[in-house]
Structure 1
Amino acid sequence: MAWVYLILAGGFEVFGVIGMNRVLKYKNFQAYTVLFGGFIFSFSFLTLAMQTLPSGLSYAVWTGIGTIGGTLVGMFFYGEAKDWKRLLCIGTILSAIIGLKLTS
C-alpha cells in the first residue's frame, strides 16, 4: 500500500505544479485551490508512504514522478519542446524509479 501512496503523492505533486502555472496565468481562487490542494494531498500521501518506506527512497521516487509528470504536462499542454533528448531523460528517470522499486 505504501507504493500506492507514493504514486498518489507524485501524481498530486503534478497537480500542484499545474496549479503554479495556473496561478501565474489567472491568479483566481480555482488556481490557488489546485495549487494548495495538490501540494497538501501530495505531502499527505508522501507522509503515509514514508511510514513504511525509507525516506531516501520515498523522496527520490516522489521527486522523480513529479519531474516526469511536470515535464510531460509542460510538453503536452504548455507547448514545451518534445525533442528526443527530453524523452531520453524522462526514460532515464523512469528507469531509475523502476530500479529503486525492484531493489527495495
Structure 2
Amino acid sequence: MAWISLILAGIFEMSGVAMINKFHKERNWQSLVLLIVGFGASFVFLAYAMKSLPMGTTYAIWTGIGASGGAILGMLLYGESKDWRRVVFIAMVLGSAIGLKLVS
C-alpha cells in the first residue's frame, strides 16, 4: 500500500506543478485551490508512504515522478519542447526511480 501511496503522491505533485503554471497564467481562485489541493494531497500521501519505506528512496521516487511528470505535462499541455534529448533524460529519471524500487 505504501508504494501505491507514493505513486499517488507523485501524481498529485504533478498536478500541483501544472496548477502553478495555470495559476501564473490565469490568476483565478480555482487554479489556486487546485494548486493547494494538489500539493496538500501530495504531502499527505508522501507522509503515509514514508511510514514504511526508506526516506531516501521515497523522496527520490517522489521527486522523480514529479519532475518527469511535470516535464511531460509541459510538453503535452503547454507546448514545451519535445526534443529527443529531453525525452531521453526524462526516461533516465524514470528509469532511476524504477531501479530504486527494484533494489528496495
Note if contact 1:19-1:33 (Cα within 8 Å) is conserved in structure 2.
no
Distance (Å, rounded) in 1 between the aligned partners of 2:76 and 2:15: 14
Segments of 5+ residues of structure 1 without an aligned counterpart are none
Residue matched to 2:73: 73
Alignment: residue pair count: 104
Q: List aligned pairs for 1:17-36, cutoff 5 A.
A: 17-36=17-36
Distance (Å, rounded) in 2 between the aligned partners of 1:23 and 1:81: 21
Residue matched to 1:52: 52
Distance (Å, rounded) in 2 between the aligned partners of 1:11 and 1:19: 12
Q: What does the per-residue CA deviation read over 1:30-58, in whole Å, with 9 as the maximum and x for residues that have no partner?
A: 10011100000000000000000011110
Distance (Å, rounded) in 2 between the aligned partners of 1:95 and 1:20: 26
- Relative to the length of structure 1, the TM-score reads 0.98
- In angstroms, what is the RMSD of aligned CA positions? 0.6
Distance (Å, rounded) in 2 between the aligned partners of 1:17 and 1:34: 10
Distance (Å, rounded) in 2 between the aligned partners of 1:34 and 1:64: 21
Distance (Å, rounded) in 2 between the aligned partners of 1:91 and 1:26: 31
- Relative to the length of structure 2, the TM-score reads 0.98
Segments of 5+ residues of structure 2 without an aligned counterpart are none
